[in-house]
Structure 1
Amino acid sequence: PMTAFILLIGAYLGGITGGSITSILFGIPGEPSSVPTVIEGHALAKQGRAAYAMWVYLLCSIYGGLFSTVVMIAATPLIANFALRFGPAEYFALTILGLSVVSGLSGGSMMKGFLSCFFGLFLATVGTDGITGAERFTFGTVTLLGGINFVVAMVGLLAVSEIFIEAEEPFKEYKGSVQYGGLLKELPPLSLFRKYLLTMVRSPIIGTIVGALPGAGATIAAFLAYGEAARTAKHEPEKFGKGAVEGLMAAECANNASTGGSMTILLSLGIPGSNTTAMLVAAFMIHGLQPGPLLLSTRPDVVYGIFAAMLVTNLLMLVLAGTAIRLFLELNRLPYSVFSAAIMILCVIGAFGLSNSVDDLFLMFAFSVIGYFMRKFGVPVAPCILALVLGDLAELSLRRTLLLSGGSPLGLVASPISVVLLAGALLSIVYPLLKKPKMLQGS
């Protein structure tokens, strides 16, 4: 069975890492967890620093993956016990923390950040109620019964709206290309990582812990790490949202570190930490294995083989992706007229291919118009996307908590973990206001 597991782990880790390539070069996130990478990495690419951004992303991704794998090998029981402490109240508090942190990253106006967040939460209510089964805001259409697909919304809000913005200056020279003669000269120096040592330590820890929580996954991890980096930035905090290297480092470290956390909870408790690791459960079942507490004692060869496969896969990605950076960057040498048309075609294919529905294309273009006007009026897109992704989890967790507590809101603060998380959410709102009071009203 090890051959099958190695294949699946390679695809899993490679998919998480590879999703950031299109985020940096095209502004199209391969995964929702890559949205922070779009914000900072694509901004760097448009400044002519695509090679530099690619090196930073690759090194931080590999570092995050190796960090979480080592932690997984050393502390699987500890992480599993912590994950078991999370119930509906804790999940609700975690989603509130993630949303509040990201809403504060609004480029000068916290009010606009929360406006974007509330709009995303409203969009998350569209579809069938997860508890009662009632239809909400479907307008009698079958397409919206399952809710708004966040991939369709994400592509429209980020990628297609970016094309509309750039189309206002059709003859503008795109600065994504770089000089390739000295590609290795773009390799970030060791001093960069020493400069952002706190971010390099904190972000993979956030990624590993959040990744171990079933249903949380890489998206919350990447946004939380990115938000913490922005909140505590001491070096050029004004660059966040405009090409901050520290933000790119934080997001990528946490994004890839979440893989080790997800695998930890799968191997120790048999609970998939993400949709992708749920596929690994099926692979275990096919081979007659039951992931969980007994797996380590009954089949240690499989468990340690998976550990080794994750270590080797991360190291191989450094070699393979490092040698392919030149090839990826060649795409940015295309004229922008060709470049934008290719991106639009990819967006249409991706949106249509999700469910082979033309309705998804209409939704994508509707969100692209919304994203265009959000950018024009300075409303950040990231809080809306995160709220759309996490809205369902937040609502179900809140309602389950209230059901378990007999309708009492005190159930939300019944455990120390939820109290700490909610306090962190409150701090993430209050701290920027105390630091810059004008953020509340914006410009």
Structure 2
Amino acid sequence: MSCYTYCNLPASARLIWDRRCWTSSNGISRERGTTMSDTALTWEWPFSRSELMAGLRRYLAASTLRLLEIKPIPLPLTMPGTSFTEESGTRLSAMSVGVRIDGDDYDLPLMLKQPPVSRNGRVLRAVGQREYGVYRLLAPHLPLLVPGLVAGDEAEGWVILEVLTGLRPATEWTVEDYEEALGNLVGMHDRFWGLFEVLATYPWLARLLEADFRDTVMAAQDAVQSLRHDTNHPALTLYLDLFDRLTHAADAIAAPLRAETATLVHGDYWPGNIARPIDGRQIVFDWQLAGIGPAILDLVGLVQTTRLRLEPVMPPQAMIDLYRDQADHLFKPEWDDTTFHVLWDHALMWLFVARWLPRLATMPPNVYAHLHPRFREVWLETLVAAAERRLTE
């Protein structure tokens, strides 16, 4: 590969190329003749060999690449988005892909991500289509790094990404890591601030407060009914009336959020979905909930999910203060303290209605039982207080 070609690869692709070169130079590349490239195997992947080979040729800028054996491998737990797949339903699998380039054989670790499947067996392709769309179309316009797309299918919603190594786990993030993540989030919101009409040209982006509002509320109401008839979640019984109240007040909850300037929102932005290389910039994964909406949704989601999942070294209030300070210098949302607190409560209630109610209705009882003590503190009791402050009827 020429220096020009190498320098113009995505940063993530250069990582794979460097790993290939290191493997070859250290004498551990696979011996020719030991692969299964000519053996008839049962094909169980959603992609064809030609799709994967074409994607790898483009991604690695290696026109002579030949595809050899594909083997399942364990999914590294440090990869972003792998910690709570049982809750989200997203299907993740890792594979070691054998390739031959210029006469040398290599094994490349890749990750296949497929959209979740509903309880009635319906594949939620729209979720995967959003992530594919971000990597394929929006990535060049983002002020932050996203994983390089090796291959994918727009219609089916699956994507193939590289497996990254040398990452700092989210549980070990430093204050500087949080500061970088918050700065990246502010930068993204600033980049797309007020560009609703431009973003609306991407029909796969979620618009939960606009075009998708009624469907979102109906799904939440159905979830509440499921929870009422489900005896496997007794810890939630005390809160069912609150859930009903929230879903029936959806228009009132959404009103101040709709009045905010729209921007691009990630939808699930928190350390668990961000790769933090020990040396290098952060890489933001898991764009399945990407959409158009007010910036406050991402900030509330970041703080709440971090509180739920981690013991952050940066206090939540410090995260909020840093975001607001940087936002005031860039897109100037004009949030005085009173306005901000109102928006925070409404964003909190909306995120619970839109994201958590459907998830709770399908979450395995054993998973929720483990989550409940922290969930009650971070979400349920906070919702009770927010509803008392904002829902007066």
What TM-score, normalized by structure 2, do the two folds share? 0.25
Higher strand share: 2
Higher helix share: 1
Structure of higher RCO (CA pairs closer than 8 Å, 6+ residues apart): 1
Q: Highest CA radius of gyration, 1 or 2?
A: 2
